[in-house]
Structure 1
């Protein structure tokens, strides 16, 4: 190993990676890349680097890219799951992939920011006020309406508790959810079709995998009432994006709150950027001060452990 390994931190959009943790304690040369890079630019940025630090799933690290990085010796990702990294290819090359702790609270909190923003028309009313117009819409209520949760894990359970505090009727479904687990979270388990049919607000909280990709498609969107709202702070691949856009365009869905997209950053000209029925945020679910401090402090720990010959928090 070289005396001072080169460590490149990718996709540090806000330029804060080195302010939330003390990287100076490490005998490494740290470089920060703020802009999102395409594969060729990523390969160039990581050329000669021994350590790559990735922010969640912002930059894919697949077999083809790894083939262009013969010097890479360690990959660190924020969080303990990153579907954008080819773990098998890393194992074949003897490259450990280490994760960090991550709080479940920030995405649950953002879910409610989107829900409230949609039902109370926060953005259009704020814009109207700035333009000198006073009250243009009538907001929707939460109390007495149905919050339908597609997924009831650590984040979904947090969202459920807030829904109950708003006096909503909270129901849930997921492929392996049991009545006992639902009752433990204070919600009722319903059938899959019933979940969509009953929803006033449908919020998605499933892990993306082979069995859940596209789980909300044309058929499921057709079960929703035209007055219903869909909120997705989980993974874009859970929803058939073309079917969602059609439902929004045709008025078969009152609106959608979206924090995740099939292509990120969302390309210029994408119809979801300024759709009148969409409240969109640029994947802010985990972007909070406390979570970033947790991410980057643990990333420093990961690099230090690897330098000491004992990698920690390895993804399998």
Structure 2
């Protein structure tokens, strides 16, 4: 059995699980695989591939090109970038792993605080000999708007309340009574964007939710408001966001996710002074990686023994 572990950017996957227990050839790939030619060249002949979230899409074309592939493991219990129908047709088993919810919620607050208090700017200034260049904003008494009050949105809401913020939320099917139990006020979409001082996105990406936040929603926001997206890049209309940031129609944005990942070196987002950017590190924590890779090894061992676990069907 030959096993490829993809997108090991930090060269760390080997230390989070007992790969030797598989008694198989395990190859850790550290560079992102781009087009189908790179994927095919790197993965040809591997029986098992361990994918890190949606970093490397597995379309029907890519799966068809990997003739030896029998097991595809994705970290997490869902991966929108895998063509599950094609995997079934080709007889490729797809398995998932556990995931911890706290990492992304914690990063969300790191980004909110950094934007509000200009931490990234002041830190850069200190390295250049500067002192007190900005005046920070406040969170207490302000309004936090949460787009999507699911597992992550709920965690973010509890911290907002602890900061003394008014917390409002919207999603297509949000139950006001459920929100109220969490100390959150359910509002309509326009009110959320127009009333919030910070809007944070925690919504599931689908065909229906792509472009969920566009020029109209950004136009409803206060000129002093901040937008944070640690969910999925395509939920926000990037050209509309770039225009709003350039024109100062919103004060700033913090992004951990992008339409194209890794974010191209020449992308316009990298040039905007009021955009705080991180490289999709919401889930990149020690504890989360321990769960991801431990479960991946378990998935591979169970598949080898003919009793696959955590099999995904959709």
1:163 matched residue in structure 2: 160
2:19 matched residue in structure 1: 23
- Could you list the runs of 4 or more consecutive aligned residues of structure 1 that deviate by over 6 angstroms after TM superposition? none
Task: Give the CA deviation at 1:181.
Answer: 1.3
Task: Give the CA deviation at 1:123.
Answer: 1.0
Task: Give the CA deviation at 1:314.
Answer: 1.2
| Residue 32 (1) aligns with residue 28 (2) | yes
Structure 1 distance, partners of 2:12, 2:296, is: 13
SS in 2 for 1:52: strand
Matches within 5 A, 1:44-193: 44-193=41-190
Structure 1 distance, partners of 2:119, 2:20, is: 43
2:200 matched residue in structure 1: 203
State how many pairs are aligned: 312
What are the ranges of 5 or more consecutive residues in structure 1 without an aligned counterpart?
A: none
SS in 1 for 2:288: helix
TM-score after normalising by structure 2:
0.98
| Residue 238 (1) aligns with residue 235 (2) | yes
SS in 2 for 1:202: strand
1:287 matched residue in structure 2: 284
Structure 2 distance, partners of 1:51, 1:184, is: 45
Structure 2 distance, partners of 1:25, 1:301, is: 10
SS in 1 for 2:156: helix
SS in 2 for 1:272: helix
- Note if contact 2:226-2:252 (Cα within 8 Å) is conserved in structure 1: yes
Structure 1 distance, partners of 2:170, 2:79, is: 24
SS in 1 for 2:269: coil
CA displacement 1:212-254 (0-9 Å, x = unmatched):
1101011010000110000000001110000000000000010
What are the ranges of 5 or more consecutive residues in structure 2 without an aligned counterpart?
A: none
CA displacement 1:52-107 (0-9 Å, x = unmatched):
00000000001011111111000000001111111110011111110000001000
1:225 matched residue in structure 2: 222
CA displacement 1:187-214 (0-9 Å, x = unmatched):
0100111111111000000000122110
Task: Give the CA deviation at 1:27.
Answer: 2.6
Matches within 5 A, 1:1-12: 5-12=1-8
Residue from 210, 213, 216 that aligns with 1:216: 213
Task: Give the CA deviation at 1:184.
Answer: 2.2
SS in 1 for 2:123: helix
Residue from 245, 248, 254 that aligns with 2:245: 248
Structure 2 distance, partners of 1:7, 1:72, is: 10
TM-score after normalising by structure 1:
0.98
- Note if contact 2:226-2:253 (Cα within 8 Å) is conserved in structure 1: yes
1:42 matched residue in structure 2: 39
